[in-house]
Chain A
Amino acid sequence: MRIRAEKDFWAGFLYLAIAAGFLWLGRDYRLGTASRMGPGYFPLVLGWILFAFGALSLLRSFWTDGERVGGIGFRPLVAITLAVIAFAALVPTAGLIFALPALVVISATASRQTVYDLRSALALIALTVFCILVFVKGLGVPMPILGSWFDGLVPPSWQR
C-alpha cells in the first residue's frame, strides 16, 4: 500500500484524530434518546460522522492520486504564533506600550525580507502611538497602556 494522495491522507488522519478526541471527551455526557436528546446526543452523532469522513478520506488516499503536502513553513508558523502568545502575556503585565512592539518584532522574524533599520523602527513607534490613541484613548478598549508591573510605580492615569 502506498499513499497516493498525501493531502487526503493527512486530512483524513486529522479528522479521525479530532473525531476521536471529541468522542472521548464527550463520553460522559448524558445521551438521552432521539426524541429527548441529552447533551451528549449531538456530539456523539457528529463525532461519528466526522470519524466516517476521516476514514473515507484516509482510504481514498490509497486509491486515488492527489497532491503532495509540500513543505511546512515552520518559520512563519512559529514566529506568528509566538508573537500572538507574547502579546497576550504582555498586555496585562507590561502593558500595550511593550506588548505591541513585541508582537511586531517577533512576527517580523517570520519574513526573511524584513529590514531592521531606522525607518522600520520609526514606523513601529508610529504604529504603537496610533494604536494607543485610536483603541485605548479613542474607542476605550480597556487595555492597560502600562500593565500590572507598573502598579504603584507610575501614576494610575498613565496606565490607561
Chain B
Amino acid sequence: MSTISRRRLLQLAAAGLMPAAALRPVAALAQAYPSRPVKLISPYAAGGATDIIARFIGQWLGERLNGSFFVENRAGSGSNIGTEAALRSDPDGHTLLLASTANAVNATLYPKLKFDFIRDSEPIGLIGTLPNVLVIHPSVPVKTLSEFIAYAKVNASKLSVGLPGIGSPQHLSAALFQTMTGIDLPFLQYKGGGPVINDLIGGHVQASFASSASSAEYIRAGTLRGIAVTSARRLTILPDLPAIGEILPGYEATNFYGLSAPKGTPQPVIEALSKELNAGLANPELVAKLAPTGLTPHAISAAEFGALITSETEKWRKVIKSAGITMD
C-alpha cells in the first residue's frame, strides 16, 4: 500500500496540487530508484546518432544505478512526438528524454506545440556536442574557407547546398552562415542525411553542411572536400579543418545532446542521474564507444545544462527569425 500512496502523492505534487514541502518524505525514493525499468525516449528513428547515443548512455546508467534502462524510439514530427510523450509521463524518473538541439530549435520553429520544453522539462545534464562540417564536391574550385566565401559571393547561383530537412541542425548551421556572410545560397532540402551525401558525392549538389560523423570518412578518402567545421574550436577527428569562427568571428553552431526528465521529477533522482552521467563522460571506455557517432563528450551540471538549453533556444530563435525560416 505504501508504494501506491507514495505514487499518488507524487502525481498530485506533479499536478501542482500540493505544496513542495509535502514532497519531503519522497527523498527516500532516491534509494529505491530505479524501482522498475527506466524508459529512455529517443525521439528519432532507430539506428541514427541519437538512438546510438541513447543506447550507450542507457546501458551505462543501468549498470551504475543497478537498474535496467531501455531505449524507446518515438520518432516523428522533428522529435516533437517523442518529446511530448516523455514530458507527459509520470515525473518519477522512470521516463527520461534524450534531449537535443531540436528541442531548442523547435520552440521557435513550431508555433503550435502542446508543450514548452523549458517550462515542462527538468535538465539532467549535457552528454556532448556534435558539430557539422561545411563540405563541397571536389569539382568546386576552392580549397579554403576564405576562397569558398569569395567564390560563393560571385557564383552563389551555381552552388546548391543540400540539407537534411527544414529546421535540422545542418540547416541552421547553413542559415547562420548565410546570415553572417550575407551570401544567399540556394538551399535544397532532403529527407535525412543519407540522400544528401549521395547527391553530394554524385555532384548533383555542390555543397552541404553535414554532420561531422557522417562526412569525416568521405573527407579522409578524398571523395568530398572538407572546408571548415561549425564548432568554436577545431575537431580532433578532422584537425586540418579550421573552425568557421576563425574567419567569421562569433560563428558557432553545434548540436548538443543531453538528458532531460519531465518537470517535477524528484531532485534526488535528478542528482543521482546527473552524477552517474558525468561519471560516464569521464570514463574512457564509454567515451571510446561514443566516438564513432562524432560526439565530443562534455560534462556539466544539471543547472548548467538548463542554462545551455535556455541560451541555445534564444540563439536559434534569433537565427530562425533573421533567416526567415518558417514551417508554414
Could you tell me which A residues sit within 8 Å of B by CB distance? 30, 142, 152-153, 156-157, 160
Contacts and interface: CB of A to CB of B under 8 A. Distances in A.
Given A30-B328, A156-B36, A157-B36, A142 B72 contact: yes
Nearest to A160: B37
8 contacts: A30-B328, A142-B72, A152-B4, A152-B7, A153-B4, A156-B35, A157-B36, A160-B37
Contacts, number: 10
A160 B39 CA distance: 12
A48 B72 CA distance: 42
Contacts of A160: 37
Contacts of B8: 152
4 shortest interchain CB distances as A-B pairs: A156-B36, A152-B4, A152-B7, A142-B72
Given A30-B328, A156-B36, A157-B36, 7 more contacts: A142-B72, A152-B4, A152-B7, A152-B8, A153-B4, A156-B35, A160-B37
A142 B46 CA distance: 15
A152 B328 CA distance: 43
Interface string B1-34: 0001001100000000000000000000000000
A153 B3 CA distance: 10
A156 B67 CA distance: 14
Contacts of A152: 4, 7-8
Contacts of B4: 152-153
Contacts of A156: 35-36
Specify which of B8, B35, B36, B72 lies most central, judged by the most chain A CB atoms within 10 Å of its CB: B36
B96 to A, nearest CB: 15
A152 B7 CA distance: 8
Contacts of B36: 156-157
Contacts of A153: 4
Nearest to B35: A156
A112 to B, nearest CB: 41
B55 to A, nearest CB: 14
B5 to A, nearest CB: 9
Contacts of B37: 160
Contacts of B35: 156
Contacts of A157: 36
Nearest to B72: A142
B165 to A, nearest CB: 14
Nearest to B328: A30
Contacts of A30: 328
A143 to B, nearest CB: 12
A21 B19 CA distance: 51
B244 to A, nearest CB: 29
Contacts of B72: 142
A160 B37 CA distance: 10
Contacts of B328: 30
A142 B85 CA distance: 14
A37 to B, nearest CB: 13
A157 B68 CA distance: 12
Nearest to A140: B70
Specify which of A30, A152, A153 lies most central, judged by the most chain B CB atoms within 10 Å of its CB: A152
A152 to B, nearest CB: 5
B264 to A, nearest CB: 17
A133 to B, nearest CB: 19
Specify which of A142, A153, A157 lies most central, judged by the most chain B CB atoms within 10 Å of its CB: A142
A157 B94 CA distance: 13
B88 to A, nearest CB: 12
B273 to A, nearest CB: 19
Contacts of A142: 72
Nearest to A152: B4
B307 to A, nearest CB: 34
